[in-house]
């Protein structure tokens, strides 16, 4: 659906994007992840035809963004990061205007507006001026305008920034639902968001894509030691001895005081050793209160990937 080839963008002499290539298939939800200034917004703006690349090009649905911008823009719904809206307009008239300039008119326009107002749960506010809405509802209006013409590709720049948690959940759900039939690209620097919503993540840093994979593969491919946390009651020496006997255990650290303590186990292998851990402890006659594996979080991967270059 989207093919980007060697996209490069200079702002003056500053390279915001360096030779970025990627592909997004139809029906995928892809997340661009990276710190501020990584080039996420620049990439999205190039795809939406707002700014041209300095070199390289991209095709959306087979249309070239440089030479067939109008065709590309017909197929895209876009919510910029700053959520720009015409604040003096009411929600309905705003949606009417954007639907019209995107080619949705007549009865179909009115039906579709009713639909997106319902999807975005804006019914109560449909007649309110946008200036009266809270940040979260403005964000929803922003999403409503991006999907009002049912674009094949939905592009959202930081869609859940600065809004309350319930609305975040709602917006993520909206994105997932839209992504079932359409292609969605979003950018974020909120890692759990990307891992919850996206099927594939592209990690960007300093104008480059430094990693592309499914969120869980990114974690797995990261390698390194696995961590487990055990909560158990009993004598510390006995438990330590039991744990250290297990194959693959590298290090055990004890946390807490009193009868119940937490034991942080580091293992060498990729293999899940939770089974070994629990049976060892039970057999030793110790009371096991809790056991969980600490997944390598996307934060860890992210920090590792984005700080690597400087090392």
C-alpha count within 13 angstroms, C-beta hemisphere, residue 146 = 32
Q: Looking at beta carbons only, is 44 or 211 nearer to another protein?
A: 44
Q: How far apart are CA 75 and CA 49, in angstroms?
A: 11
Nearer to another protein, 4 or 76 (CB): 76
Strands 2-11 and 14-24: antiparallel
CA 278/CA 45 separation, integer angstroms: 51
Q: Measured from the CB of residue 303, what is the shortest distance to another protein in angstroms?
A: 31
Closest CB 108 distance from another protein, rounded Å: 14
- Is residue 75 a contact partner of residue 152, using CB atoms and an 8 Å limit? yes
Closest to 246 (Cα-Cα) out of 294, 290, 281, 287:
281
Nearer to another protein, 151 or 215 (CB): 151
CB 211 within 8 Å of CB 227: no
Query: Which CB, 139 or 267, lies closer to another protein?
Result: 139
Considering the complex, what minimum distance in angstroms separates the CB of residue 183 from another protein? 16
- CB nearer to another protein: pick between 71 and 266: 71
- CA-nearest of 53, 57, 48 to 77 is 48
CA distances from 121 to 34, 84, 136 (A): 30, 19, 11
Q: How far is the CB of 101 from another protein (least distance, A)?
A: 5
Q: C-beta of 70: minimal distance to another protein in Å?
A: 5
Among residues 109 and 200, whose Cβ is nearest to another protein? Answer: 109
DSSP letter, residue 198:
-
Q: Are 301 and 201 in contact (CB under 8 A)?
A: no
- Choose between 84 and 256: whose C-beta lies nearer to another protein: 84
Q: Minimum CB separation from another protein for residue 149, in Å?
A: 9
The CB density around residue 76, as the number of other CB atoms within 10 Å, is 24
Backbone torsion region of residue 7, taken as left when φ is above 0, otherwise alpha when ψ lies between -120 and 50, otherwise beta: beta
Q: Would you call 32 helix, strand, or coil by DSSP? A: strand
HSE value, Cβ hemisphere, 13 Å, CA-based, for 111: 6
State in angstroms the smallest separation of the CB of 50 from another protein: 5
Contact residues toward another protein (CB under 8 A) are: 45, 48-52, 70-71, 73-74, 76, 78, 80, 82, 84-89, 93, 97-98, 100-103, 105, 145
Between 148 and 203, name the residue whose CB sits nearer to another protein: 148
The distance of closest approach from Cβ of residue 102 to another protein in the complex, given in angstroms and rounded to an integer, is 6
């Amino acid at each position: 659906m989207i093919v980007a080839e060697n996209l490069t963008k200079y702002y003056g002499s500053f390279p915001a994007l360096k030779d970025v290539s990627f592909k997004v298939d139809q029906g995928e939800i892809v997340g661009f992840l990276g710190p501020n200034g990584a080039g996420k917004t620049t990439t999205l703006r190039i795809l939406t035809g707002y700014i041209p690349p300095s070199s390289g090009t991209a095709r959306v649905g087979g249309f070239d963004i440089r030479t067939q911008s109008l065709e590309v823009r017909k197929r895209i719904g876009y919510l910029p990061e700053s959520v720009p809206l015409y604040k003096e307009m009411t929600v309905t008239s705003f949606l009417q205007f954007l639907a019209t300039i995107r080619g949705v008119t007549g009865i179909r326009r009115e039906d579709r507006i009713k639909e997106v107002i319902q999807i975005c749960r804006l019914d109560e506010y449909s007649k309110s001026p946008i200036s009266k809405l809270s940040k979260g509802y403005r964000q929803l209006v922003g999403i409503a305008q991006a999907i009002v013409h049912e674009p094949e590709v939905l592009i959202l720049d930081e869609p859940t920034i600065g809004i309350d948690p319930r609305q975040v959940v709602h917006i993520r759900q909206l994105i997932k639902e839209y992504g079932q039939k359409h292609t969605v690209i979003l950018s974020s620097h909120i890692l759990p968001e990307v891992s919850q919503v996206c099927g594939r993540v592209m990690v960007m840093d300093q104008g480059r894509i430094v990693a592309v994979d499914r969120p869980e593969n990114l974690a797995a491919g990261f390698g390194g030691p696995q961590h487990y946390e055990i909560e158990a009651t009993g004598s510390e020496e006995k438990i330590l001895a039991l744990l250290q006997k297990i194959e693959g255990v590298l290090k055990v650290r004890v946390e807490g005081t009193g009868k119940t303590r937490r034991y942080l186990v580091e293992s060498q292998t990729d293999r899940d050793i939770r089974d070994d851990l629990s049976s060892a402890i039970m057999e030793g006659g110790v009371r096991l209160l809790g056991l969980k594996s600490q997944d390598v979080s996307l934060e860890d991967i992210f920090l590792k990937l984005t700080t690597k270059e400087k090392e």
